[in-house]
């Protein structure tokens, strides 16, 4: 009996937790997703300093590449329905994300592939290949920002 | 695939020697930066014509990239063939449709002589003597030297011909009257090849040629008056209604409104990769320009662009940098 009550309580806790997740405030999701994007931008900004020769931390680029790759796995779920810039404030996510989800998913895939490739070339320590990997990564960012992010006001 | 391209694959050592970190850390960052940049240069050449191609064609491809012909003359949105035209350019004066510039003899420019081609770029005149609208940026291309024009034509004529018919422009009254372009040209168009400024060095002059003529940056980044002429007083100071009705940023070295707080290497890196100094990746029309044009330039040429841009007078408003 005790066990049954225990399991029931546990189930209830999880159920409410799940509820809370489903009812997450759109503004909080937007804030979180922008923070993730900023983290990605932080890594690319840091890489730029190394590639431009402004700093000597060449050993760090692989860590930054891995950071981007980790973040790339989160991107897809950051865009639940109801968080576009028509329905919400303080976001530049265009409704096109949900209108053409297949294209958006393809942009996410391309981003994941480009960041995985960047990790590979960074870990191989081959600066020449790294330059090409960076250009490919840029294409992946642009390939999503151009169709799916509103321009700055 | 190395080619006879001016400055192709050269390393912009300025980017590297300028760096504050270099003294403290010896050669490593130099190797990284140089090799990464070097590779970008090579990668851009990999898409070029087959080995053993005519030098004029190979040179012409570089001019073609620097002049950014592809983005406007291809209707990417509707999956149009490269250079077959048809891309809509909505402007305050109506919608322009770019023409087919493949070597198709009927619908493209395949029947043009070298002289026809040069007249189009230099004078803004079609082979039948009619005037072009300045949506075709001949007010910039007019400054090109003749060799670049000829090589550009050689490259275009090496591309596949596509028989896509041209689409008529859809312009608002009274801009549909082509004869009105003659007084327009008298007022606003100065024909002629760029003359180098002897008081400036070669890099500055090359930068001026790339920015003002080949790259035609001002066609989007400079505001236009109510008759569609660029406002020379506000050169590159941003355009509140650029192509596609969008705001185009101020790229003069003004610290608040332009890119005055960027370093030269911020700009060359941006023109090569598209990454902004804060690590963001802009997604506007400039993305295409980087991927189809400035990303293909040699590091030397991008450095020349930065040199020229940061030597411009800083002009305030409208809007911040890209």
Contact between chains at B29 and A55 (C-beta distance less than 8 A) = yes
Whether the CB-CB separation of A133 and A117 falls below 8 Å is answered with yes
Alpha helices (H) in chain B, listed in sequence order: 13-17, 22-25, 28-45, 55-67, 69-73, 114-123, 138-141, 146-157, 181-188, 202-208, 218-221, 264-273, 285-292, 299-310
pLDDT band for position A7 (cuts 50, 70, 90): low
pLDDT at B23 over 70: no
Q: Is the pLDDT of residue A18 over 50?
A: no
Non-local CB neighbours of B156 within 8 Å, separated by 6+ positions: B60, B64, B69, B83, B101, B102, B103, B109
Measured between CB atoms, does B40 come within 8 Å of chain A?
yes
| Average pLDDT in chain B | 83
Domain boundaries, chain B: 13-309
Give contacts of B29 with chain A, Cβ < 8 Å.
50, 53, 55-56, 58
Q: Nearest C-alpha of chain A: how many angstroms from B171?
A: 27
Report chain B residues whose CB lies below 8 A from the CB of A93. Answer: none
Peptide bond before B85: cis, by omega within 30 degrees of 0? no
Residue-wise pLDDT for B133-149, tens only, equals: 988 999 999 999 999 99
pLDDT, one tens digit per residue, over B30-57 is: 455 555 554 444 444 434 444 556 799 9
Interface contact flag, B281 A53, Cβ < 8 Å = no
CB contact under 8 Å between B29 and A58, yes or no, is yes
Say which residue, B223 or A108, is predicted with more confidence.
Answer: A108
Label residue B27 by pLDDT band (50, 70, 90).
Answer: very low
Mean pLDDT across B300-320? 89
- Residues A1-17 have a mean pLDDT of 55
**CB–CB of B277 and A46 under 8 A?**
no
With an 8 Å Cβ cutoff, is A153 touching chain B? no
Evaluate whether B257 touches B318 at the Cβ level (below 8 Å).
yes
User: Is residue B291 less than 8 Å (CB to CB) from chain A?
Assistant: yes
B15 interfacial to chain A (CB closer than 8 Å):
yes
**Set of chain B residues whose Cβ sits within 8 Å of the Cβ of A44:** 275, 279-281
Q: Does A142 touch chain B (CB under 8 A)?
A: yes
CA distance A117 to B75: 31
Residue B76 forms contact with A (CB below 8 Å): no
Residue A8: its pLDDT value, please? 55
**Do B291 and A139 count as a contact with CB atoms less than 8 A apart?**
yes
Would you state the pLDDT for residue B44?
41
pLDDT score recorded for residue B225: 84
- Please state whether the predicted TM-score (pTM) of the whole model is above 0.90: no
> Which tokens is A93 given?
């996510």
Tell me the C-alpha distance between B218 and B212, whole Å.
7
CATH superfamily of A26-148: Cytochrome c/b562 (1.20.120.10)
- Highest mean pLDDT (candidates A87-101, B233-247, B286-300): A87-101
DSSP structure class, residue B21: T
Mean pLDDT across chain A: 88
Q: Is B163 on the interface with A (CB under 8 A)?
A: no
Which stretch of A68-77, A106-115, A126-135 has the lowest confidence by average pLDDT?
Answer: A126-135
Helices B146-157 and B114-123: crossing angle, nearest 10°?
A: 120
Chain A nearest-CA residue for B276 = A45
Distance from CA of B192 to the nearest CA of A (A): 37
**Closest by Cα among B76, B78, B80, B75 to B98:** B75
- Whether B235 and B222 have beta carbons less than 8 Å apart is answered as yes
Put simply, whether A48 touches B (Cβ < 8 Å) is: yes
């Amino acid at each position: 009996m005790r066990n049954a009550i225990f399991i029931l309580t546990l189930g209830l806790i999880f159920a409410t937790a799940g509820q809370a997740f489903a009812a997450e405030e759109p503004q909080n999701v937007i804030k979180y997703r922008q923070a993730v994007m900023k983290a990605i931008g932080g890594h690319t900004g840091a890489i730029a300093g190394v590639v431009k020769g402004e700093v000597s931390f060449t050993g760090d680029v692989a860590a930054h590449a891995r950071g981007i790759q980790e973040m790339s796995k989160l991107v897809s779920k950051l865009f639940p329905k109801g968080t576009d810039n028509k329905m919400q404030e303080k976001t530049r996510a265009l409704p096109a994300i949900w209108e053409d989800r297949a294209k958006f998913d393809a942009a996410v895939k391309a981003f994941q592939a480009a960041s995985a490739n960047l990790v590979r070339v960074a870990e191989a320590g081959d600066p020449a290949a790294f330059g090409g990997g960076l250009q490919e990564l840029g294409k992946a960012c642009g390939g999503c920002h151009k169709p799916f992010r509103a321009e700055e006001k | 695939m190395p080619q006879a391209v001016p400055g192709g694959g050269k390393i912009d050592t300025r980017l590297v020697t300028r760096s504050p970190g270099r003294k403290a850390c010896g050669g490593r960052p130099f190797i990284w930066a140089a090799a990464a940049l070097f590779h970008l240069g090579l990668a851009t050449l990999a898409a070029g014509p087959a080995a053993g191609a005519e030098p004029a064609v190979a040179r012409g491809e570089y001019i073609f990239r620097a002049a950014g012909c592809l983005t406007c003359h291809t209707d990417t949105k509707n999956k149009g063939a490269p250079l077959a035209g048809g891309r809509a350019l909505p402007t305050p004066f109506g919608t322009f449709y770019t023409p087919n510039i493949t070597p198709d003899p009927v619908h493209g420019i395949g029947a043009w002589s070298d002289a026809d081609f040069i007249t189009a770029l230099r004078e803004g005149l079609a082979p039948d003597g009619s005037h072009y609208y300045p949506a075709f940026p001949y007010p910039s291309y007019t400054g090109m030297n003749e060799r670049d024009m000829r090589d550009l034509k050689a490259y275009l004529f090496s591309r596949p011909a596509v028989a896509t018919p041209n689409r008529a422009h859809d312009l608002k009254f009274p801009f549909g009257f082509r004869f009105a372009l003659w007084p327009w040209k008298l007022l606003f168009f100065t024909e002629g090849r760029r003359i180098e400024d002897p008081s400036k060095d070669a890099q500055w002059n090359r930068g001026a040629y790339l920015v003002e003529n080949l790259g035609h940056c001002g066609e989007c980044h400079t505001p236009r008056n109510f008759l569609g002429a660029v406002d020379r007083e506000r050169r590159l100071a941003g355009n509140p209604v650029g192509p596609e009705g969008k705001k185009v940023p101020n790229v003069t070295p003004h610290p608040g409104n332009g890119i005055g707080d960027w370093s030269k290497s911020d700009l060359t890196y941006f023109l090569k990769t598209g990454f902004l100094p804060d690590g963001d990746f802009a997604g506007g029309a400039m993305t295409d320009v980087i991927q189809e044009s400035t990303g293909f330039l040699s590091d030397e040429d991008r450095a020349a662009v930065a040199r020229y841009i940061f030597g411009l007078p800083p002009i305030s408003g409208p809007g911040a940098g890209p």
